[in-house]
Structure 1
């Protein structure tokens, strides 16, 4: 079985390890960064592509190299590639699985500090209006910074990003002080988040609703302890997805894969 895997997330590395352990499969993993490709290789991916791919390129690779199934394990907020991959699978009439991490279970969490926003532009406006003082910790990736700093001064903006060239270039383009850049090496602990709140005198923390694997609970608990606001960007809904194609964990993935192996 030849699997084309859209990766770049912790979920995708877990999927690679699981499939290589339990199935006879060749996996090509695509990521948008060299860092993501390295993690995929370390997890056991047979081959990787470390750059964004256009729709036509994905289609060409799948047809040329005779892939049997397309698995999309990209981030819940990467709606464009999920929309594109679902469309490709539909056009090629090939099996498709969207692995989407569950939303965060906040049943036993104090949510009183959370303010929800539909977009990063809305989040920037909310911070400018409701939280005009103190540091702004941006824990939502380099691609989303511009919408925030359109409304919030870079003087109080502190992004946590992967220190790769593409992300640094985005910071430079926005005139973000290099001393404000917080290197990211994975999901932070509650204590690490608290340290950053104190260090940068933060009044606000921005995060995506990206699930427990993205460290959302640790961010909320840190914010609760230090009495600062959490701006939570709501997860986008992707209308093209057939709910029967979506799985939320490895057991559900197995149920789908067993139909193909």
Structure 2
């Protein structure tokens, strides 16, 4: 089974390990960063590509190397690549699976501190208008900082990012003080989030609705304990995506794979 996996998430590493353990397979994993490719290789991927790929190049790779199935395990907020992967599967008439972590069930949690928005621009405007005091913890990735900083002073902005070259360069271009950068190594625990709120005198936390694997529950719990606002960007709706192509766990993935092979 020759698999091309669009990765870069913790989910994608779990998928690689599961497929290599349970199937006679060859996996090419594409990621946008060297760090993501390193983790994929360590997870068992036979080959990796560590840069953003245009649609035409993905098609060329699939056709020339005869990949049989396309699995999209990119981040829930990587809207463009999911739209692209759906389009590729249709054009090539090839099996396609979208692995998407389930949304978080907040029914048993105190959600009074959460302010839902649909975009990072909307998040920046909300903070500018409603939360003028205290510092801002940005737990939503380096690529989204610019939209926030159009409305929020860089002096009160503290991003938690992977300390990789591309992210550091983005901080430099946006004028983020190096002392404000919080190094990230996986999802933070409740205690770590509380410590960050206290250390940086935060009044607001920005996060994506990225599911439990992204540590969103621990962020909300910490915000509740420290009386801090959570500005949460909701997942984008991807019209091109067929709900029947979505799986949310490895058991569902197995069912789809066995249907195809």
| Shorter-chain TM band | over 0.9
- 2:260 is paired with a residue of what secondary structure? coil
Question: 1:70-100: per-residue Cα shift (whole Å, max 9, x none)?
Answer: 0000000000000001000100000000001
TM-score w.r.t. the length of structure 2 is: 0.99
Structure 1 residue 107: Cα displacement: 1.4
Distance 1:235 1:133 in 2: 27
Gaps of 5+ in 2: none
Equivalence for 2:32:
32
Gaps of 5+ in 1: none
Distance 1:155 1:242 in 2: 43
Q: In terms of mean alpha carbon deviation, does 241-250 or 3-12 score higher?
A: 241-250
Structure 1 residue 260: Cα displacement: 2.3
Structure 1 residue 105: Cα displacement: 1.1
Question: 1:158-214: per-residue Cα shift (whole Å, max 9, x none)?
Answer: 000011111111101100000000011100001000000000000000000000000
Distance 2:198 2:242 in 1: 44
Which aligned segments of 4 or more residues in structure 1 are displaced greater than 2 angstroms?
Answer: none
Task: Report 1:169-180 matches (<5 A).
Answer: 169-180=169-180
Structure 1 residue 108: Cα displacement: 1.0
Task: Report 1:36-47 matches (<5 A).
Answer: 36-47=36-47
Equivalence for 1:104:
104
Equivalence for 1:128:
128
Distance 1:161 1:243 in 2: 31
Structure 1 residue 17: Cα displacement: 0.6
Distance 2:56 2:181 in 1: 35
Equivalence for 1:143:
143
Structure 1 residue 243: Cα displacement: 1.1
Distance 1:174 1:151 in 2: 13
Question: 1:194-253: per-residue Cα shift (whole Å, max 9, x none)?
Answer: 000000000000000000000000000000000000000010000001111111111110
TM-score w.r.t. the length of structure 1 is: 0.99
- 1:259 is paired with a residue of what secondary structure? helix
Distance 2:246 2:205 in 1: 30
